[in-house]
Amino acid sequence: MSNIILTGFMGSGKTSTGIRLSYRLRRAFLDTDQLIEREQGKEISRIFAEEGEEQFREMETRMLKKLVETEQERIISTGGGLPMRAENRPLLHALGTVVYLKVTPETVYERLREDTGRPLLQCEDPLRRIRELMTEREAVYQAGADVVIEADGRETDDIVKEIEEKTV
Ligand code: S3P
């Protein structure tokens, strides 16, 4: 049995789905953003502000390499931009089964409109930014996934059930 890795856009439900799945399967839950925040002793928005996005992307790759070296059988939620670095894709596959949670830009916008913790969306027109980023990223998420879940408008339990059926 290997890890289950959740990928997808910000606000696609990776964390809430991952936590629920971890309860169901009695496996540990990890989140790359949380691990980086803990390691760095500061929030993602501060890392972006003080060190820049490129440094954050380095931290993501380092974290993935660390995870590949440690024990398996966990549920791992990943930052939304993580699969975009070519170097990270073989690392994700080495970690386990990659599950992409697919949602529309409108869903992301509705979920994150009050959110201040995503530096990439702190702009004048977040919906437009979400659409642009999604257009850039969609094919990469798809190509890098072992399983694609249409997650829009569905209950977390229903999504968890489908992931269980397709991965375990
Ligand atoms: C990012 C997504 C965030 C976080 C950072 C950058 C992105 O994670 O890693 O703000 O580039 O899409 P979530 O997908 O968990 O929000």
Query: Alpha carbon of 98 to those of 42, 76, 79, 139, 140: distances in Å?
Result: 28, 9, 13, 14, 12
Q: Is the pLDDT of residue 64 over 80?
A: yes
State the residue for tokens 């590949």.
68
110 band by pLDDT with thresholds 50, 70 and 90:
very high
Sheet holding 3-7, edge to edge: 29-31, 75-77, 3-7, 96-102, 147-150
CA dist 7 and 28 (Å) reads 17
Q: How far apart are CA 132 and CA 164, in angstroms?
A: 31
- Residue whose Cα lies nearest atom 16 of ligand 1: it is 10
pLDDT tens-digit map of 115-161: 999 999 999 999 999 999 999 999 999 999 999 999 999 999 999 99
Q: Decide if pLDDT at 168 tops 80.
A: no
Ligand 1 centroid to residue 63 C-alpha, Å:
14
Q: How far apart are CA 34 and CA 104, in angstroms?
A: 24
Q: Determine the distance separating the centroid of ligand 1 and the alpha carbon of 117, expressed in angstroms.
A: 9
What is the CA(118)–ligand 1 centre distance, in A? 6
State the pLDDT confidence band at 72, using cuts at 50, 70 and 90.
confident
| Whole-number pLDDT of residue 1 | 53
Mean pLDDT of all residues in 47-73: 96
What mean pLDDT comes out for the span 14-35? 97
pLDDT tops 60 at residue 74: yes
Q: Who lines ligand 1 at CB under 6 A?
A: 10, 14, 33, 44, 79-81, 118-120
Query: What's the mean pLDDT when you consider all of the chain?
Result: 96
H or E, element range at 150 = strand 147-150
